[in-house]
Amino acid sequence: MRKMMAIGVGLAVTALSTAAMAEGATAAASTSDPGMKISAAALVGYGLNNAAPDGADALNLYGLGFGVRAGVSLPSNLYVGGTFIYHLGASQESGSGAYKVTTKMGMQYYGVEGGYNIASGGMTIRPYLGLGQIKAHGETCVGSVCGSGESKSEIYIAPGAAFLFNVGTSMFAGVDARIVRVMTGDGDKGKASSLPSVFGTIGMTF
């Protein structure tokens, strides 16, 4: 009887130890592998293009900008997503009265992004590279008669970095900086490219 009890106790201890080890392994796996996270964010910021402010015809085609970003952070720390940015640009006037000419021009672009999340405490640093299409939008008014249009879409690349801080369990806020380089098209591709554009951003993870 005692021998049977000893065997039973031994089996019970072994089972409990195995369960504890399995639970510990599961917890460790969940800690090291947080799983896929979807995020969405809004951006508000300002940009300068290479032509501004030098030259009589050099409008800042970027200026105040608004945008959205959405993406997926993978367990491997890779980030894949997309973004859309609309810059209001700037305007200039000439003439007066019925012959007053007002020209407004801005930029807009959208594309995909790929980056890598580097976590440090409650902060994530994400270097990334964007690729997509960019075009100018504009409006010209002569007196009270106005007409608007858009340029042909061109290809751009945008290296940048986002610095994101956790706000609670599912929100984040931070700063995003990027350079937009127009790669195709005729004429002044460099002048249509941006110097660093800096955005504030706030968003949520799901």
Domain of residue 131, CATH code: 2.40.160.20
87 and 155 in a single domain? The answer is yes
CA nearest 195: which of 4, 48, 65? Answer: 48
Regarding whether 179 and 161 lie in a shared domain, the answer is yes
Residues 50, 5 share a domain: no
DSSP string, 83-102: EEEEE--EEEEES-GGG-EE
Q: Are residues 3 and 105 in the same domain?
A: no
Neighbouring C-alpha atoms within 13 Å toward the C-beta of 172: 23
What pLDDT is recorded for position 121?
85
pLDDT at 187: 59
- pLDDT digit string, tens, across residues 101-111: 998 999 999 99
Do 18 and 75 reside in the same domain of the chain? no
Contact predicate 119/166, CB 8 Å: no
pLDDT averaged per 10 residues in sequence order, the chain, 206 residues: 40 39 37 74 93 60 96 96 96 83 93 96 95 94 89 95 95 97 77 89 96
- Report the domain count for the chain: 2
Are residues 114 and 90 part of one domain?
yes
Q: Do residues 138 and 104 touch, judged by C-beta distance below 8 A? A: yes
Question: What is the reported pLDDT for 54?
Answer: 52
Residue 25 domain boundaries: 1-32
CA torsion through residues 150, 48, 58, 187, sign: negative
Same domain, 20 and 98: no
Tokens describing residue 27: 């917890």
Give the per-residue pLDDT at 24. Answer: 40
Structure-token pair, residue 56: 């009589």
pLDDT tens-place string over residues 162-200: 999 999 889 999 999 999 999 987 656 777 888 889 999
Same domain, 158 and 179: yes
Same domain flag for 95 and 170: yes
